[in-house]
Structure 1
């Protein structure tokens, strides 16, 4: 199933000149990873403490786009400029999960949104990434299967924040969007698990 993640190579090509400049200036992949996490935490804090200010919600889609760029940049710095490290791998996985939680969980305090549903979707998002990492432990590759991968979550949560930020009142549409996220999250966990197991079985049969 196609996801926004499939657009990543084109996005990386657009960022490559910037990545090369950063590498020449001595910026490291780990520094970019940490910067993305700090940016997410600061934005989540603004939403959490200013939940009735529409402009704070408008920050979320902007920061999600910037974070998507930073995530692509840190990966390219690591792979293309000899910055890969065990620490970097840990920071990359933990940074993504913590950044998601920091950005999305504050939406649970928005009046009119079902906070319990926001929390469940975020917890499932963490489980999705755990699915991807656990695949490596059983001998498969790191799984990025959709339809609710990191980029897809960013799009849907960004859309939710944007619509709330421009003044649209929460209601049936926001509940429906969160319910769709819940279903997509469960489907993604299923896909990653099945395809990891299939990959291991195929390798064993060779």
Structure 2
């Protein structure tokens, strides 16, 4: 199943001139990673403290696009400008999980969203990212398989926020949509685990 992650190379090409300028200005990949996590926490706090307001929901889709750009930029700074480090690898993975949780968990307090579904989705999102990282421990590349990876979750929650902010009635559709996200996250975890095992060095002996 296709994923928003598939358009990443095209997006990176558009951001390459900006990345080059940041590198020349002395901005590091780790600084961009930390900035993305802090900004995510700030936007999530806006939703949490203003669950009845529309403006934080309008803010979220715009910020998710900015966050996607920052995530692409920190990766290119690390790979293409000699900024790879062990600390950067840790910050990248932890920062993504912190940012996702900070952005989406506050939806549990927004009227119309099922609190328990939002909590379960947040937990499964963490598990899906950890499953991708665990692949490295068995000797294969970090897995980014969909259909509900980080970029896909950003698209879906950004769409939810925009629709609700625009006044679309909150009803059964939202409940079913959250169930669909939950189900796709389960499939994502399965896909990442299965494909990591299938490509591991000792898979032939299994």
TM-score range, shorter chain: over 0.9
**Aligned CA distance change for structure 1 residues 113 and 192 (closer, same or farther; 3 Å):** same
Aligned to 1:47: 47
Separation in 1, partners of 2:116, 2:126: 16
Question: How far off its partner does 1:70 sit?
Answer: 0.1
Q: Could you tell which deviates more after superposition, 163-172 or 144-153?
A: 163-172
Match of 1:172 in 2: 172
Q: CA deviation at 1:5?
A: 0.4
Aligned to 2:73: 73
Q: Does 1:85 align with 2:82?
A: no
Q: After the TM superposition, which parts of structure 1 deviate over 2 Å for at least 4 consecutive aligned residues?
A: 201-205
135-144 vs 42-51, which moves further: 135-144
Say how many residue pairs are matched: 205
Cα deviation for residue 168 of structure 1 reads: 1.8
Q: Structure 1: how far apart are the matches of 2:137 and 2:169?
A: 44
What is the correspondence of 1:22-41 to structure 2 with a 5 Å cutoff?
A: 22-41=22-41
Task: Map 1:105-120; keep pairs closer than 5 Å.
Answer: 105-120=105-120
**Partners of 1:121 and 1:107 in 2: CA distance:** 11
In structure 2, distance between residues paired with 1:166 and 1:11: 27
Scaled by the length of structure 2, the TM-score of the pair is 0.97
Query: Deviation of residue 204 (structure 1)?
Result: 4.9
Greater mean alpha carbon deviation, residues 132-141 or residues 36-45: 132-141
Q: What's the CA shift for 1:111?
A: 1.4
The separation in 2 between residues aligned to 1:151 and 1:163, in whole angstroms, is 18
Gaps of 5+ in 1: none
Aligned to 1:66, the other structure's residue is in SS state helix
**Which secondary structure state, in structure 2, belongs to the residue aligned with residue 140 of structure 1?**
coil
Counterpart Cα distance in 2 of 1:201 and 1:19: 35
Shift in Å at residue 201 of structure 1? 5.4
Counterpart-to-counterpart distance in 1, 2:203 and 2:141? 11
Instruction: Give ranges in structure 2 of 5+ residues lacking alignment.
Output: none
Task: Measure, in 1, the Cα distance between the counterparts of 2:154 and 2:102.
Answer: 13
Q: Using the alignment, how far apart are the partners of 1:118 and 1:19 within structure 2?
A: 34
Q: Do structure 1's residue 96 and structure 2's residue 103 form an aligned pair? A: no
- How many Å separate the matches in 2 of 1:136 and 1:26? 30
| Aligned Cα root-mean-square deviation (Å) | 1.1
Partner in structure 1 of residue 134 of structure 2: 134
SS of the residue corresponding to residue 35 of structure 1 reads helix
* Alpha-carbon distance in 1 for matches of 2:168, 2:99: 25
Match of 2:146 in 1: 146
TM-score under structure 1 normalisation? 0.97
CA contact (8 A) 2:197 2:203 kept: no
